[in-house]
Structure 1
Amino acid sequence: MPELPEVETTRRGIAPYVEGREIVEVVVRQRSLRVPVPSDLESALIGERFGELARRAKYLLLPLADRTLLWHLGMSGSLRVARLGDSPKKHDHVDVVFEGGNILRYHDPRRFGFVDWLKGDAETDTRLSRLGPEPLSPDFDGRRLYRLSRGRRAAVKTFIMDNIVVVGVGNIYATEALFMAGIDPRRAAGRVSLARFERLAETIKAVLAAAITQGGTTLRDFVSGTGEPGYFAQRLSVYGRAGEPCRHCGMELRHIVLGQRATVYCAICQT
């Protein structure tokens, strides 16, 4: 599914085409998404303009003059920019058409994503209010991980994927960050030292920043806002490489399942 870098890449990709542009038409082809498309979406958007797009965790926030649209890509969704005359494909569920002919088009084969109105603001909407800090913000560091992990028996990989601890560290990037930090993903979070958590926080920031810079990870279901795939997959060290040699020591990388998620690690480099 699209992870934080993919969502941030989408935000950056679509922003220049939609911010400040008048909305002239809205086409909803499928209302039955994970959350039903609001019945007033078409009437509410016509004549409006989106302000500066924002992201919170894996949610995109598209502000209007008096309220905000909340968009989530789910497991397989993508937002891309099309042009008038570009025929919609199967699973193209929502079009927002702008003056000048640009179309913000939502594609979602599995329909696990949604578009809905933000309820109140980011501090009060229950979908956002309990989320932890953004991983690239000053509010996230190794001390936070250490403090929240005391007494926790859960595997450290599962721990850092908890959105209350920190948002947006999905399976791919958790796997990569733990490898870069030299930490066994199976280790109990409560048995990781402060020094190692400080190193892990640094690698989480580094791997996410690198992925955003390179346009997100190339996944079968993901395309960026301009229709181009991401490129970070070309530099993955362990994710998806089970059975191949570790690029550091040559040991065959192992595959296990943690929290129902595939996990690949090096038994020599990660302890």
Structure 2
Amino acid sequence: MRVTDQGEQAVPAGPKALPHTVGHRERLRCRARSAGLNHLPDYELLELFLFRSQPQGDVKPIAKALLSRFGSLAAVLAASVEDMMTVRTQDLKGRTKAVGMETALDLAALHEVAQRVAKEPATRRPVISSWTALLAYIRLALQHEPREQFRVLYLDNRNQLILDEVQNRGTVDHAPVYPREVVRRGLEVNAKAMILVHNHPSGDPTPSRADIDMTQQIIRAARPLNVEVHDHLIVGREGVTSFKQLGLM
């Protein structure tokens, strides 16, 4: 209770308002338990994961900065550790804070877990009979990859996956491919068939003239060795293009 200069009693002072961050973590966890994780917006779902990487402090600005920088939750997880660590935000006192190595590694690990889970259905059955699962896996792996990447799925005589191997990583619009090396590696792992896969960081999965020519070179190199090229898939943010469906092979 306060006393005025005239000795009169004043209205008791109310409690000082606490920062909105106080108790935020527990409130968010309670909401996740009661409403379900699927009802949380992307930034809050990302916050929940960041609680483990950063046991103290407000992680909401970091979650929102990551989503703003990369555009979506999927793109955040697919970003490289180096790119994630370029993200900056400010705390309540205006101090600049960067996404640290530990946080970036945790997010990259989450993306790797998601890829392995998506890959499982495509490896348990012949790839041809689990085509939908295969497409889901390669989209998750490559849809937001910022640089062009060329990989080969090597299959056995039952069309089951032997090896998913990145042959080359390149620039934003080119990854070098060496047809003889692609086929040689297939012989090393005793593959009987291959599915070629690469991404277009531009987002448009339309095959280029160079893509078509390279595919034909690999087919010609593999044919004398009785190794079949089932398809060439191009992944972009707009979807996946199949050379076989387009009649390009």
TM-score range, shorter chain: under 0.3
**Structure with larger RCO (C-alpha < 8 A, sep 6+):** 1
Query: Who wins on radius of gyration, i.e. which is larger?
Result: 2
Give the TM-score of the pair, scaled to structure 1.
0.24
Give the structure-2-normalised TM-score.
Answer: 0.25
